[in-house]
């Protein structure tokens, strides 16, 4: 997989990534999009989302700090994105934690064609119809094989599912790829999950292969984390270095460090 080539494409094309997102990590998501090579725009008023998405390379829907009005804005923008062939990335933050989030995430999946779902293990399990132990927006434990659940969800919704964690799993229901890059400090920074969806958004705008887009984005983010960690004294300096490293990441370094393996779906 030519991940380095895709990174170069993102930087050349500078795709607009339209986010309808939460108020906690909006700044981080905007910055990470810019650092990865895209152009971020955040717009959530139902009066403008369908118009804004017409200019976008990708639409990212993130349900953290969700309200019912935001769900309507997401549906309106999402339907327009589907008409125009703009790929949609869904980050189902906190699905399983409350009825509003679970029901809304399922409604987005039912009423829209989603290109890529990016969630943690618990969110993925819940959307796949499985069971999980959730603490707020954190995934504590999942009953069952998360890879099998992700693949089942991908097949049921004809989408790509990316499950982030110590090891990232990306599957379209037929192929399953594991990314082993990354660093534990990522879990000590709020919003690395949200940020990974933004980077996936950048990559989904430059290739039609959604599996490749998700894998490439997660490799790039995780390799930047590996380069940042040795320079960090803790999570905050790690975050700063991670941002800097992503911005200046050389494609050849990505190629040299990428750790992806294809697994048989169990």
- Which region, judged by CB under 8 A, interacts with its own copies, from 58-66, 110-118, 150-158, 173-181? 58-66
| Residue 72 interacts with its own copies (CB under 8 A): yes or no | no
| Residue 37 interacts with its own copies (CB under 8 A): yes or no | no
Q: How far is the CB of 7 from its own copies (least distance, A)?
A: 16
Q: Partners of 59 in the beta sheet? A: 18, 88
Instruction: Please identify which residue in 3, 4, 9, 28 interacts with its own copies, judged by CB under 8 A.
Output: 28
| Residue 94 interacts with its own copies (CB under 8 A): yes or no | yes
Residue-level length of the chain: 266
Q: What are the start-end ranges of the H helices in the chain?
A: 3-13, 26-36, 49-53, 68-84, 99-111, 121-127, 146-157, 192-204, 210-228, 235-248, 251-257
| Residue 64 interacts with its own copies (CB under 8 A): yes or no | yes
| Residue 174 interacts with its own copies (CB under 8 A): yes or no | no
Work out the angle at residue 172's Cα, subtended by the Cα atoms of residues 266 and 166, and round it to the nearest 5 degrees: 70
The DSSP result for 32-85, as a single string, is: HHHHHT-EEEE---TTTHHHHHTT-SEEEEE-TT--HHHHHHHHHHHHHHHHHT
| Residue 237 interacts with its own copies (CB under 8 A): yes or no | yes
Instruction: Please identify which residue in 4, 10, 16, 227 interacts with its own copies, judged by CB under 8 A.
Output: 16
The size of the interface with its own copies (CB under 8 A), counted in residues, is 62
Q: Partners of 141 in the beta sheet? A: 133
Closer residue to its own copies in complex, CB, 136/266: 136
The token duo for 53 is 């998405």
- Tell me which DSSP letter residue 129 carries: T
User: Rule CB under 8 A: which residues touch its own copies?
Assistant: 14, 16, 18, 22-28, 30-31, 34-35, 39-45, 47-48, 51-52, 55-56, 64-68, 94, 97-101, 134-138, 188-191, 232-237, 239-245, 247-248
């Amino acid at each position: 997989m030519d991940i380095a080539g895709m990174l170069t494409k993102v930087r050349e094309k500078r795709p607009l990534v339209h986010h309808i997102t939460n108020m906690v990590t909006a700044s981080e998501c905007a910055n990470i999009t810019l650092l990865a090579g895209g152009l971020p725009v955040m717009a959530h008023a139902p009066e403008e989302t369908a118009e804004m998405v017409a200019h976008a390379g990708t639409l990212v829907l993130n349900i953290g700090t969700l309200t019912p009005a935001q769900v309507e804005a997401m549906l309106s923008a999402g339907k327009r994105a589907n008409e125009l062939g703009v790929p949609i990335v869904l980050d189902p933050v906190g699905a399983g934690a409350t009825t509003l989030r679970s029901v809304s995430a399922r409604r987005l999946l039912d009423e829209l064609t989603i290109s890529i779902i990016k969630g943690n293990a618990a969110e993925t399990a819940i959307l796949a119809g499985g069971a999980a132990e959730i603490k707020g927006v954190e995934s504590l434990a999942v009953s069952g094989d998360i890879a099998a659940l992700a693949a089942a969800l991908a097949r049921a919704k004809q989408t790509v599912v990316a499950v982030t964690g110590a090891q990232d799993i990306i599957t379209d229901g037929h192929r399953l790829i594991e990314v082993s890059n990354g660093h534990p400090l990522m879990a000590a920074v709020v919003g690395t999950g949200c940020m990974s969806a933004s980077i996936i958004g950048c990559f989904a705008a430059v290739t039609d292969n959604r599996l490749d887009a998700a894998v490439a984005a997660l490799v790039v983010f995780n390799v930047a984390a590996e380069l940042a960690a040795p320079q960090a004294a803790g999570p905050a300096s790690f975050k700063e270095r991670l941002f800097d490293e992503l911005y200046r990441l050389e494609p050849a370094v990505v190629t040299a460090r990428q750790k992806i393996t294809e697994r048989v779906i169990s």
